[in-house]
Structure 1
Amino acid sequence: MKKTSTRLADGRELLYYDTADGRVRDAVDRRPLTPVATASEIRYDALLGDSVAVASHRQDRTYLPPADACPLCPTRPGHESEIPAADYEVAVFENRFPSLAGDSGRCEVVCFTSDHDASFADLTEEQAALVVEAWTDRTAELARLPAVEQVFCFENRGAEIGVTLGHPHGQIYGYPYVTPRTSLMLRSLAAHAERTPGANLFDDVVARERADGRRVVLAGEHWVAFVPYAAHWPYEVHLYPLRRVPDLRSLDDAARAELPSLYLELLRRFDRIFGPGQPPTPYISAWHQAPFRHPLRADFALHLELFTVRRTTGKLKVLAGSESGMGAFINDVSPESAAQRIREVAS
């Protein structure tokens, strides 16, 4: 992998990731951009014990532009974009409308391919492996920033999720705090170790699912994917490396090499869940990594959580009173039925 770092016209960092070492990336961003002005602020909720990012400048962010005005496509005559090059493999840049910035963290955009009409599932294994390398590299780089406590690599796909740009892309958040969901996992991890000295909660969950087998949907030599026993979403899959590691940087070569094929298979199955002729399945794909400075960092398990808000053809799982008001989920699909369906649509 070759990484080339440059700057956009307003000073934001842009990085190209290429498979060929000899690739030259010297295109210049010639747009007349003014420096980015952000108003990101972290506020602590004393009742819930968590934090909220207030980022009012995001109200002006680009919203569902036509394909010929896409800011993530390569630059071409008559259309200058966030990517000055005429083509690219993977590109990462600082978000012009970040939720987190400066002392409040960092937000980056990851463009998976220059093909506007593609999706992650359309990538080759080599292309997917390059995205994994980019995620890993950004995790390592953001870990060096004093303001960042945790790195979250994720993809929102589909208008139903709230995506504002149709180009295949994801994001990377460098949070200045440990997120509420991770805090809950760490609390459960500590409680399990106290109840069962010498045991690790993540290891025990993975072992239980592998032994049961009913919810396992895909297994490789180094990874296993399953619908969790208490899945919150109608179709939800968790993907774990069999050797527990805290983050993407810690994967060994064998696990790293196997990941692209398994991940692509999961995404392609998600697009087949609801049958032929249906629109692409909206989903959130979220990499959970250990906080950098937490005492339980070594006990945390890197894993992917992939889920869709679609519960059946033409119907969405809406977070209504119980879920939104109380955080108490009610699932319309049994995890065992969901696992069976995801196995049925295997390639």
Structure 2
Amino acid sequence: MKKTATRLSDGRELLYYDSHGNAGRDAPDLRGLPPAAPAVEVRHDVLLGEHVAIASHRQDRTHLPPEGACPLCPSRDGRLTEIPAADYEVAVLENRFPSFAGATGRCEVVCFTADHHASFAGLGEDRAALVLATWTDRTAALSARPGVAQVYCFENRGEEIGVTLAHPHGQIYAYPFVTPRTARMLETTAAHAARTGGRNLFDDAVAREYADGRRIVLDGDHWVAHVPYAARWPYEVHLHPRRRVPDLTALGDAARREFPRVYLDLLRRFDRLFGDGRPTPYVSAWHQAPVRHPHRAEFALHLELFTVRRAAGKLKFLAGSESGMNVFVNDVPPEAAARRLREVAGP
């Protein structure tokens, strides 16, 4: 993998990741943007013990521009974008409208391809492997930054999810705190170890799925995908490496080699779920151990993939119980969801 670092005209960092060469990656940003100065404040909710980011500048972020005005396409034919090069494989840049910035963390955009009409599911295995290498490199780099407590790589796909740019891309958040969801998982993991004489909760949860079998979706040599027993979303899959590791940097070579095939298979199954030919909206989220946590070794790296679509033409909305009390009500039994995901496996 070849990595090329440069700067945009407002001072933000831009990184190109290429499988081999990187011709043209030294193209300068000619837009003459004013220096980036996002105003982000992190406030603490004393009742819940959680953090909230206040980022008013995000009100002005680009929202569903026409194809000819996409800021994540390469700069071509006289049109200047966030990517000065005329082509690229994978590009990572500091978000122009970040939720966290400076002393409060960092937000990056990961462009999976220069092709505006592509999707992650349509990428080849080589490109998916390059994206995995990019996520891993950024996890290592951001984890080393002072003040960063947790690194979160994710993709939001589809307007139903709230995506504001159609170009195939994901994001990486470097949080200055441990997120509530991760903190809760660490608490339950510690309680399970105390209750069982040191057994690991993640290991036992995956073993439970194997023993039951009904919710297993895909079983590879180095990865296993299952619908969780208490799934919150209509179609939700958790993808675990067979050998537990705390984050992407600790993945073994064999798991890295198998990941592109397994992950692309899952994404393509999601697109076949409803039989209407429409791309399925989803969130794909890497859960990694906090950077400097005394029990990070007990955490299990895994990817959670879910859609807000519950049936063709129908969405699951977070209404009173979910939004108000964080108590989910799922209309699709996890066993039925797993069965459907097995049915839509490709040839």
* TM-score when normalising by structure 2: 0.99
1:61-80 Cα offsets, whole Å, 9 max, x none, are: 00000000000000012310
Number of residues of Structure 1 aligned to a counterpart in Structure 2 = 346
What displacement does 1:147 show? 1.6
- Give the distance between the partners of 2:194 and 2:133, measured in 1 at CA: 36
Superposed CA deviations along residues 18-72 of structure 1, whole A, max 9, x for unmatched, are 0014645211110020011211011000001110011001000000000000000
Distance 1:4 1:24 in 2: 10
1:250-305 alpha-carbon deviations (Å, 9 max, x no partner): 00000011001000000000000001x33110000000000011111000000000
The runs of 5 or more residues in structure 2 that have no matched partner are: none
1:258-273 aligned at under 5 Å gives the runs 258-273=258-273
SS of the residue aligned with 1:298? helix
Residue equivalent to 1:26: 26
Task: State the Cα distance separating 1:198 from its structure 2 match.
Answer: 2.0
* Counterpart residue number, 1:177: 177
Other-structure match for 1:140? 140
Partner of 2:298: 299
Matches within 5 A, 1:297-336: 297-336=296-335
Contact 2:2 2:17 in 1 (8 A): yes
Residue pair 2:24, 2:86 contacting (<8 A) in 1 also: no
* C-alpha RMSD over aligned residues: 0.8
Note the residue ranges of structure 1 that are not aligned, 5 or more in a row: none
Q: Which runs of 4+ in 1 moved over 4 A?
A: 21-24
* Residue number in structure 2 paired with 1:343: 342
State the percentage of identical aligned residues: 72
Q: What residue in structure 1 maps to residue 194 of structure 2?
A: 194
Supply the distance in 2 between the matched residues of 1:22 and 1:28 (Cα, whole angstroms). 14
CA contact (8 A) 2:24 2:85 kept: no
- The letter for the 2-side match of 1:13 is E
Query: Which region of structure 1 is more displaced relative to structure 2, 278-287 or 24-33?
Result: 24-33
Matched, 1:279 2:278: yes
Deviations 1:185-220 (A, max 9, x none): 011001101101120000000111112110000010
Match of 1:160 in 2: 160
Aligned to 2:116: 116
Matched with 2:227 is 227
| Matched letter for residue 129 of structure 1 | A
CA distance in 1, matches of 2:323, 2:82: 35
Report deviation, 1:317.
0.3
Q: Distance in 1 between matches of 2:79 and 2:331?
A: 45
1:85 lines up with 2:92 in the alignment = no
